[in-house]
Chain A
Amino acid sequence: MERLVITYEQFVLLYFAVLALTYAYFGYLGVRSVIVYSRELSPLALGDHLSRDVAKPVSILVPAFNEEASIVASVRALLSMHFPRYEVVVVNDGSTDSTLERLREHFALIEVPMAYRQVLPSLDVRGIYRSLRYPNLVVMDKERGGRADALNSAINAARYPLVCAIDADTLLDADAVLRASRVFGEDETVVGIGGTIRPANGAVIEDGRVASLRVPKRWIERFQVVEYARAFFVGRAAWSKLSALMLISGAFSIFRKDALVAVHGYWTETVGEDMEVVFRLHRHYRALGKPYKILFTPDPIAWTEVPSDMRSLRAQRNRWQRGMVETLWRHRGMAFNPRFGRLGMLGVPYYWVFEAAAPVVEVLGYAALIVSALTGVLFAQFAALFLLLALLYSVLFSQFAAGIESFLLARYPRARDRLILLAASFLEFVGYRQILVFERFIACFQVRRKAKQWGAMRRVGTPEVADL
């Protein structure tokens, strides 16, 4: 037993070393890509692109299930974007609250007979509505089929060659779609792009846009500010740079419509449809032998309301973990498969070992610590120093990402905010992290039992949204 515990502790040490080194390297790649990107897409280039009207038109797809608190503000913000040609397709996915009524009332919707080709299977559409005020707004009312099914319905009705899938509570920067769509024009091999998602909690919202930033009041939200910065500015940017991006967040993603149709749209049997569709796109284009790119660009930026209570947050992380395991399992043939290049040899194995298995390794690590303490083989001083080292590494990576965020014009402006975020990156290690790791650990064993279960999230709504 003692030997087993010591061997496991050595394994944890090695695991930690590889992970820490990878993160540090990713931090550097992330910074580099942001710096080049900021030159490449200057205000001058963006202005030229907008004024010459060369952007490809986009259909923005908004699946909505019980979103009465935020749907009107979201759609209103979407309808006032800086983009020459786009439409907004809202899908009311069998809401049981007043989502559809609120849309009807605010946008003067009338039911219209509308013909479209059903290229992707989806549940029955009960009605299609158009706005008397906004010609580029379409609302579909359909049977409850989940986010993936709602997106498939919206793709069927979408008119334009690019489709942008967002969450109903997502607020986009005014020129977010312009920035993302520009990449498709520059490089015809690009099939999908993900942008940065940032928590809107605490932000001041005016006319559906984030006008200024304040660090949220609750620590649980502050921890998520740090987490999101780390995930997007460091993780996604690096994988994109390595041409092995495996996840584009469902809260904001743009794809070529023909690419999504070619892979038969979103898979409805998973709760991780955003990750799964990216895997299928990789497989599809690799099989065809066609050059393609799936990219992350750090700016466009989308804002989302992150959970502000532990119950919602645990449900969300549980779902993310299950979605990831489902996807990895479904595409297990990609791991260590040289046919997929860096993706197969590096990306997918990394996700298996350092993402899907991470909560298991960590929870067992804590268990080993307790067992070794009980059996008297724990070197208390060494264990304490090791935990301190892990804490410092975690804070360091968070600060790498926080540093990148500092270069954004829309950043947390006050030095006090920086100190709070610094404190958050220390404090998340005490309790918060362990609770979520344990939730993800549990989720690993619930993949089958809780298949297709999303779990509810309590939405507070940003202050302005609540006023509407």
Chain B
Amino acid sequence: MWRRYGDTAYALFVLVGFILQAAALALLTWSFIPAASGLFPAATPGRALLGALLLTTTALMGIVGFILAYHVIGARRQARREADVREWTERWTEVVFGAEAPEGPLPPAALEGLLEVRDKLRGSRARAIDQLFERYWRSGVLIRPLRSRRLLKRLDALERLARARLASTFFPVLHETDKADARTRAMAIRASARTLALYPEGPALDEAQGAFAEALDDDRISTGVALEALMLLDDACSGVAIRLFDDPTPRWLRWAAIEAAGRLERVDLTIEIASLVEDLDPEIRAASLRALHGIRTIPDAAQDTVRRALHDDVDFVRVQATRAAELLPFAVVATRLWEMLGDPSWWVRRTAAETMGGHGTAGAAMLGWAARSHPDRYARHMAIQFLFDDQRIDLGTAELLREAV
């Protein structure tokens, strides 16, 4: 973690140091070129060397002075600032719970304090904070730095906006996702997602969700960033994800939407996700099966689809289908799981054993039986290994069973 004050000034010092050195070295090199002596007679090697020494000493003193001052003054300043922010955080908390609001204009620590409080509150209290932002800083003050040409200023502003999560700033922040700089885009996507997560209900929400889904559909955004942004939406994820399930959406983004819905356990999307289990793309099939497993629900109408997925040609889809089979009645999948213990893929065999293990006593009994009498040698080995890993048998029993196999 870094201290984020004084660093741009330091960069300037280093730049000046670099320029001084370049000048010193140019002078020195110049002085060694015999042909140049006629053009600039004063630049004898000795004088040039003295000049270089002088310039370097100046640069060094500047840098050392900066570092020492930064340590002494910076530490004190930071302590004071932290105390101010703490004080304002307490004060804003009291305001949210009914105390009288202070008179403006307010110092920068007040904004920092309010951002601290904002990140911790939800619901009607959070809306009260929105009003405080509007009253003292109006969202324009937070948004204006986004127009700066300086990258650092824009990144700082995006972070503040991500913390403020003001509905009124949503579209200006979303606009930043179109910028050429990858860092700005990623931060803007995340800031928009955090804002959309707390967006007030109403017709504007639908528009905002549509715009966000559209912004995500950009090849310059990585799958990882899209997935994180969708996860940051929390409860608002459904409204965006459902727009991304359809076919025109690129595969990577559909995958991210399904994955996020699964991880956030969006029960309201179960039917839509189940409809993707027979998609043409194996990655999408696997993601939807994994999502259903994550949501822990398979709609009745989709049970046959999941059972059919247990016979999928692609091994990683079979792995996910086997995992999802944990949610189907054991009697319905037992025979297929038994067969899958002898699947050519190690991962399918392993998942079949785990799923059997997850089906309680009946599953465990079947595993024990498979360890002794499954017709496939690899299936027997896998059953033994799983029973041992799951601490259902000890090492001695596992060795005995293995010898018997």
Contact = CB atoms under 8 A, between A and B. Distances in A.
Contact of B155 (A40, A395, A404, A413): A40
Interface string A402-418: 11101111100111001
A119 interface: no
Nearest to A421: B67
Contacts of B119: 44
Interface in B151-204: 151-152, 155-156, 159, 162-163, 182-183, 186-187, 190, 194
A14 B152 contact: no
B118 to A, nearest CB: 12
Interface in B375-402: 385, 388, 395, 398, 402
A110 interface: yes
B2 A409 contact: yes
Contact of A393 (B56, B162, B183, B398): B56
B63 A396 contact: yes
B155 A115 contact: no
Interface in B1-55: 1-4, 6-8, 10-11, 13-15, 17-18, 21-22, 25, 28-29, 32, 45-46, 49-50, 52-53
Nearest to B10: A403
B60 A399 contact: yes
A248 interface: no
B224 A188 contact: yes
A414 B71 CA distance: 8
A39 B71 contact: no
A256 interface: no
B70 interface: yes
Interface in A1-48: 10, 13-14, 17, 20-21, 24-25, 27-28, 31-32, 34-40, 42-45, 48
B223 interface: yes
B183 A40 contact: yes
Nearest to B70: A406
B21 A20 contact: yes
Chain B: number of interface residues, binned into ranges: 35 or more
Most central of A113, A184, A388 by chain B CB within 10 Å: A113
Nearest to A40: B183
Most central of A10, A34, A112, A396 by chain B CB within 10 Å: A396
A382 B227 CA distance: 63
B29 A28 contact: no
A402 B190 CA distance: 33
Contact of A34 (B7, B63, B231): B7
Nearest to A173: B1
Interface string B201-236: 000000000000000000000111101100110000
B263 A53 contact: yes
Contact of B29 (A14, A404, A418): A14
A187 B222 contact: yes
Given A27-B17, A34-B7, A40-B187, A395 B60 contact: yes
A186 B186 contact: yes
A392 interface: yes
A220 B243 CA distance: 62
A386 interface: yes
Given A185-B225, A400-B14, A393 B29 contact: no
A17 B48 CA distance: 13
B1 A299 contact: yes
A49 interface: yes
A186 B71 contact: no
Contact of A186 (B8, B18, B67, B224): B224
A396 B56 contact: yes
B11 A44 contact: no
Contacts of A287: none
A299 B32 CA distance: 43
A40 B159 CA distance: 9
Contact of A415 (B66, B72, B263, B402): B72
Nearest to A26: B18
Most central of B3, B15, B64 by chain A CB within 10 Å: B64
Contact of B25 (A21, A112, A414): A21
B190 to A, nearest CB: 7
A418 B68 contact: yes
B228 A185 contact: yes
Contacts of A13: 28-29, 32
A422 interface: yes
Interface string A48-91: 11001110000000000000000000000000000000000000
A435 interface: no
Interface in A370-403: 381-382, 385-386, 388-389, 392-393, 395-396, 399-400, 402-403
Contacts of B227: 54, 185
Contacts of A393: 21, 56
Nearest to A408: B2
Given A185-B225, A395-B60, A407-B3, A52 B231 contact: yes
A119 to B, nearest CB: 13
A36 B224 CA distance: 20
24 contacts: A13-B28, A14-B29, A24-B18, A25-B18, A28-B11, A28-B14, A31-B14, A36-B152, A36-B155, A39-B155, A49-B228, A113-B385, A113-B398, A385-B46, A388-B53, A392-B56, A392-B57, A392-B60, A396-B63, A403-B13, A403-B63, A403-B67, A406-B70, A418-B71
Given A36-B152, A410-B1, 6 more contacts: A31-B14, A45-B190, A184-B224, A389-B53, A389-B56, A413-B75
Across the A-B interface, give the 6 residue pairs with the lowest CB-CB distance, nearest first. Answer: A185-B224, A38-B2, A39-B155, A52-B231, A24-B18, A392-B56
Interface of B: 1-4, 6-8, 10-11, 13-15, 17-18, 21-22, 25, 28-29, 32, 45-46, 49-50, 52-53, 56-57, 59-60, 63-64, 66-68, 70-72, 75, 119, 151-152, 155-156, 159, 162-163, 182-183, 186-187, 190, 194, 222-225, 227-228, 231-232, 263, 346, 385, 388, 395, 398, 402
